[in-house]
Structure 1
Amino acid sequence: MTVTAFDESERRAWAGKADAYAGSFAKLCAYPVPGLLDAAGVEAGTHVLDVGTGTGTAAATACERGAKVVAVDAEPAMIATAAQEAPAAEVRLAALPDLPFDDGAFDAVVGNFVLNHVGRPRAALAELRRVTRPGGRVAVTIWAVPPAPGQALLGRAVQEAGVGRPAHLPALAPEEDFPRTEQGFATLLGDAGLRHVVCDILEWDHWTTPQEWWSGPAAGVATIGQILKSRPPGVVEEIRGHFVALCAEFVRSGGALVLPHAALLAHGRV
């Protein structure tokens, strides 16, 4: 299938970033995992595919439930980390929307935030549906839009410095985008042919520190990190100064940074 400019940009952005991601944003992204697995009906004996496994949190948790787990990711460094995190899982290199599995191969398929990182989300969902058996479940998460205050913190610091998105980082094509709302996400799953679709919003406070939260972007993790990497050191330091100032809104006693986040969890049956 066609690899878009957005897909190619995502591959470059995440190349070699497993350790930096594990030390910064991975703990945030782990929050929805129990609910994601519940929505997919993952239990002992379930044959489950975890797509976009990252550092392997969902795969490891599914293994702890006694499921038979296959996990895939498009980034080799993530695969290496996931194989250590979930040694009971079969971990393979693969990318949406072209998975190397037969039709109906799995009882359940989960994707924790993977749809945020593909250039053709509709084709990706169609592929998740294809590899799920009739009657099986697909469960996926994305970040909600507009973002919760904690999620917007780093972007606000960039905006305060007057820095925009660099031209070499393509946005998702307009015809591929969709409303990142409960209704919009549910409609996306329904259009992919899933039945009995339900979408809920998850809201939580993520506890971290300013140093930890800055470490991911400083290492080039995610789009925000790629924006920093595209700027000279003086501009990066200006962004960091705005970040430190804005952190005051979220710092609790003891120095903890408490960031409100919101994500969408949607699931349906094949």
Structure 2
Amino acid sequence: MVPEDVQGVGGRLLDGVLQGQRQLLPVGHAGGLRRRALTYAAWVTKDFDLYERELWAGRATAYERGFARLTRHMVGPLLDAAGVADGTRFLDVGTGPGFVSQGAAERGAVVSAMDADPGMADTARRNVPGLDVHVAVLPDVPFPDGTFDAVAGNFVINHVGSPGVAIGELRRVLRPGGRLALTCWLMPGSGALGVVREAIEEAGVPWPEDVPEPPFMQYGEPVAFRRLVAEAGVGEVAVEEVTWEHVVDPEDWWETGALSKVGSNGYVVGRQDAKTVARIKEAYDGIVRAYAVADGQVALPAHALLASGVR
């Protein structure tokens, strides 16, 4: 529901409009509706960003052991798209365990990094000794205009309450002619990204109403992702779909993706009682069996988008 300070004349109407329902707007209320809509948008953004901070607090180690190994596949293509080479002044946004920063440093780039979670920032410092890491939450980018030759974010834009504003800020800190590269998941998530969610659904566990869908969800396909980046002022935008197989022990993927409470799927599993968790695990085992390969491993498909462009 719309928060109380957004209510008033037309408040319930606004709630319907912003939930995608076709409603009639009373004559003379358009200006008030626009004001309330802006307030509502800010409220939704804040609500999601606060959820993200709580979701990832204390999860750096579990993320590094699990999902970071999946996202690491895109480090090379991301750095290529951003044009990172020897001497490039580079910003790694949402550094996580620092794998993108590490790859950029190995290319000879001058690297700065930022992450919203202090634990992630500490992990990046451990993995990349001497790394200049800042704790900052997008869309806050704590650098002056035109600081960098290249900026990249590996699967971070889908964790932001206001992705368009965030991309505009990333553009701001690029020099004219500098390159931006961003990855995101193809939505809805499937394969490696979706097996735990599928198991939750197959086990008949309802998705909690207080677990929000990311505002980015609507942009997780090529046309919408390109439009989002272009509308933030980035030029020559190209979007590429990338698919690969993530080979992993299914028990490890269950432990890091469900039991360790990483991401929304893990958060939901972590709220269940033991019998329900066992039911979800049984469903998970059946789902991943279809991806079995040699040595007890599974090859889970991963589907991502890589966007790049120029300031």
Q: Normalising by the residue count of structure 2, what TM-score does the alignment of the two structures yield?
A: 0.83
Shift of the 243–219 alpha-carbon distance from structure 1 to 2, 3 Å rule, reads same
Shift of the 12–140 alpha-carbon distance from structure 1 to 2, 3 Å rule, reads same
Alpha-carbon distance in 1 for matches of 2:113, 2:58: 18
User: Tell me, what secondary structure is at the counterpart of 1:4?
Assistant: helix
Partner of 2:227: 187
Superposed CA RMSD in Å reads: 1.5
Q: Is it true that 1:24 corresponds to 2:66 in the alignment?
A: yes
Q: Which amino acid aligns with 1:246?
A: I
Q: Which amino acid aligns with 1:269?
A: V
Partner of 2:262: 221
Structure with the bigger percentage of helix:
2
Alpha-carbon distance in 1 for matches of 2:218, 2:232: 13
1:68–1:89 contact (8 Å) kept in structure 2: no
Partner of 1:211: 251
Alpha-carbon distance in 2 for matches of 1:233, 1:17: 21
1:51–1:109 contact (8 Å) kept in structure 2: yes
Q: Is it true that 1:256 corresponds to 2:292 in the alignment?
A: no
Q: Deviations over 1:111-136 (max 9, x none)?
A: 00001111111111111111111110
Query: Structure 1 residue 3: deviation in Å?
Result: 5.5
Instruction: Give the counterpart of 1:35 among 59, 73, 77.
Output: 77
* Percent of residue pairs bearing the same amino acid type: 41
Paired residue total: 268
Q: Which amino acid aligns with 1:193?
A: G
Between 1:181-190 and 1:40-49, the stretch displaced more is 181-190
Query: Structure 1 residue 20: deviation in Å?
Result: 0.6
Partner of 2:38: none
Instruction: Give the counterpart of 2:182 among 123, 126, 140.
Output: 140
Partner of 1:242: 283
Q: Is it true that 1:113 corresponds to 2:150 in the alignment?
A: no
Query: Structure 1 residue 218: deviation in Å?
Result: 0.5
Q: Is it true that 1:161 corresponds to 2:200 in the alignment?
A: no
Partner of 1:102: 144
Q: Normalising by the residue count of structure 1, what TM-score does the alignment of the two structures yield?
A: 0.95
User: Tell me, what secondary structure is at the counterpart of 2:253?
Assistant: helix
Partner of 1:91: 133
Query: Structure 1 residue 252: deviation in Å?
Result: 1.0
Q: Is it true that 1:230 corresponds to 2:281 in the alignment?
A: no
Between 1:257-266 and 1:151-160, the stretch displaced more is 151-160
Alpha-carbon distance in 2 for matches of 1:212, 1:2: 34
2:44–2:161 contact (8 Å) kept in structure 1: no
Query: Structure 1 residue 237: deviation in Å?
Result: 1.4
Q: Is it true that 1:196 corresponds to 2:236 in the alignment?
A: yes
Alpha-carbon distance in 2 for matches of 1:85, 1:262: 27
Partner of 1:172: 214
Q: Is it true that 1:4 corresponds to 2:43 in the alignment?
A: no
Alpha-carbon distance in 2 for matches of 1:2, 1:211: 36
Q: Which amino acid aligns with 1:45?
A: G
Alpha-carbon distance in 2 for matches of 1:21, 1:150: 14
Alpha-carbon distance in 2 for matches of 1:233, 1:13: 21
Q: Is it true that 1:125 corresponds to 2:158 in the alignment?
A: no
1:63–1:89 contact (8 Å) kept in structure 2: no
Alpha-carbon distance in 1 for matches of 2:92, 2:44: 22
Q: Deviations over 1:25-76 (max 9, x none)?
A: 1100100110000000000100000010001000011001000000110111
User: Tell me, what secondary structure is at the counterpart of 1:32?
Assistant: helix
Structure 2, unmatched stretches of 5+, are 1-42
Query: Structure 1 residue 198: deviation in Å?
Result: 0.5
2:245–2:301 contact (8 Å) kept in structure 1: yes
Greater C-alpha radius of gyration: 2
2:164–2:232 contact (8 Å) kept in structure 1: yes
Q: Deviations over 1:66-107 (max 9, x none)?
A: 000001101111111100111142111111001111111111
1:178–1:188 contact (8 Å) kept in structure 2: no
Query: Structure 1 residue 211: deviation in Å?
Result: 1.2
